[in-house]
Amino acid sequence: MQPHYRFAGFLGKRVHLGVTGSIAAYKALDLLRSLQEAGCLVSATLTDGAAEFVRPLSFEALGASPVYGSMFEGSPSGSAFGHLEPGQAAHAMVIAPATAATIARLAFGLADDMLSCQALAFPGPKIVAPAMNPRMWEAPATRRNWEMLGELGYIRVRPWSGHVACGDTGEGRLAPVEEIFASVLRALAPQDLAGRKVLVTLGPTREPWDAVRFWSNPSSGLMGACLAMAAHLRGADVTVVAGPTVLTFPEAVRVVPVTTARQMFEVATDLWPSMDVACCTAAVADFRPVPFGETKFKKASGAGQGITVEFTPNPDILRTLGEAKRDGQRLIGFAAETGDLKAEAGRKLQSKRLDIIAANDISKAGSGFASATNEMYVLDAAGRRETWPQLDKTEVAWRLWDHLLLD
């Protein structure tokens, strides 16, 4: 699980996990672990088909409780109403992997096994993630049933393309566990950013000098990724403008990859008029080298006397967005400092026309570049100032959106 998916604030949320008879059933164990790490309590139902691929004991050993099996085995609690219990206890239900047969049962309300009864009796959000052979997935009956699930309000995580177990290639692989996990967290999270269009800049920029060398910085993009994820989970429509990073996002998050500061500037300033909020976390190179040229600089050219590289300024993206900000738009900036944190944060809040600035001292351990945590000083245009202890970046991100929603 990538670090920007590791939200731990879902304590007390209950998720019911349905597993059906697919070779991908073992991946449900990963989903179980991920949900538990997010703080969720997880119960599970394995169909008879699922139990052929992976043992109920594996789910029990990892802490799923209770674990239901066949319809007439009844409830592990001894009650005769196991088919109704998840609907009474859980906040969300996820069926992953879901076979063609289970999708058909769900579409038609055919309650002929424990899992399909539980789904029919489940009043909360239901997420379904299929896995099957590509020809089964493309069969008209499956397509129709899949459409019906959409009409019935199921949250659908479509299968991905690639090699499947039988050797075929095509659409039918279970979506990555991260994708399914994010759909479950989104179903559990408050949708208090629903309807807002959020722009996040993140990562470093790379400023080329010759054919093989560039000027950059060690930003991993993690803080911005956590903000983008938190906004997505809370219902926002998120667009990420990303400098070079290895981070990936759920399919519903739009990602525009860029390399240089000027490319990031073009994309961010084009998008800004259509956005409600922008959050600039990118570590943009303030200066770019005057290029040596398209070819590779050869060592021999500088041997003996060394070389001097000239730099020219890059545009300030955040400042430009601040200048173009219209009524109702909100702008969040970051400040990476090694000196007087509070004074610099105050100066940047004012001069870049920000609503909130989150500043951190990058010389401190556990704060800043490539760290999983951050220690923030947060200042807003209403004059509120807060110092937050060292927190996971996912937690910092969640709190920053809370802060934005204060007014």
> Which residues are the active-site residues?
166
318 touches ligand CTP by CB under 6 A: yes
Using CB under 6 A as the binding criterion, the count of chain residues that bind ligand CTP stands at 16
What's the CA gap between 311 and 331, in Å, rounded? 29
* Interaction residues for ligand CTP, span 345-364 (CB under 6 A): 348
What's the CA gap between 379 and 383, in Å, rounded? 7
- Are 367 and 373 in contact by the 8 Å Cβ rule? The answer is yes
The stretch among 62-70, 173-181, 246-254, 316-324 that binds ligand CTP (CB under 6 A) is 316-324
Least spacing, CB of residue 361 vs ligand CTP, in Å: 11
Q: Given CA atoms 206, 207, 210, 211 in this order, what sign does their dihedral have?
A: positive
* Interaction residues for ligand CTP, span 91-110 (CB under 6 A): none
The stretch among 180-188, 207-215, 330-338, 377-385 that binds ligand CTP (CB under 6 A) is 330-338
Cβ-based neighbour number of residue 11 at 10 Å: 9
Q: In 3-state terms, what secondary structure has residue 92?
A: strand
Inter-axis angle of helices 27-37 and 177-188, nearest 10: 40
What's the CA gap between 8 and 34, in Å, rounded? 10
Block residue for tokens 């403008």: 241
Q: Is the CB of 77 or the CB of 338 nearer to ligand CTP?
A: 338
Sheet holding 14-19, edge to edge: 67-68, 41-46, 14-19, 92-98, 126-130, 155-156
* Interaction residues for ligand CTP, span 63-92 (CB under 6 A): none
Lay out the site mask for ligand CTP across 236-275 (x = CB under 6 A, - = otherwise): -------------------------x--------------
What's the CA gap between 343 and 199, in Å, rounded? 27
316 touches ligand CTP by CB under 6 A: yes
Q: Is the CB of 35 or the CB of 317 nearer to ligand CTP?
A: 317
Lay out the site mask for ligand CTP across 269-308 (x = CB under 6 A, - = otherwise): -----------xxx-x-x----------------------
Least spacing, CB of residue 316 vs ligand CTP, in Å: 4
- Is residue 226 exposed (0-12), middle (13-18) or buried (19+ Cβ within 10 Å)? buried
Q: Which of 142, 314, 371, 374 binds ligand CTP (CB under 6 A)?
A: 314
Cβ-based neighbour number of residue 168 at 10 Å: 12
**DSSP code, position 155:** E
377 touches ligand CTP by CB under 6 A: no
What's the CA gap between 213 and 291, in Å, rounded? 10
Q: Is the CB of 32 or the CB of 261 nearer to ligand CTP?
A: 261
Least spacing, CB of residue 340 vs ligand CTP, in Å: 11
* Interaction residues for ligand CTP, span 191-220 (CB under 6 A): 201
- Are 337 and 360 in contact by the 8 Å Cβ rule? The answer is yes
The stretch among 27-35, 153-161, 293-301, 314-322 that binds ligand CTP (CB under 6 A) is 314-322
Q: Which of 71, 336, 356, 378 binds ligand CTP (CB under 6 A)?
A: 336
Least spacing, CB of residue 308 vs ligand CTP, in Å: 22
Helices marked H in 299-340: 299-302, 317-324
Q: Which of 157, 175, 200, 335 binds ligand CTP (CB under 6 A)?
A: 335
The H helix count followed by the E strand count for the chain is: 15, 22
Least spacing, CB of residue 344 vs ligand CTP, in Å: 6
Least spacing, CB of residue 336 vs ligand CTP, in Å: 4
Q: Which residues lie near ligand CTP (CB under 6 A)? A: 201, 261, 280-282, 284, 286, 314, 316-318, 333-336, 348
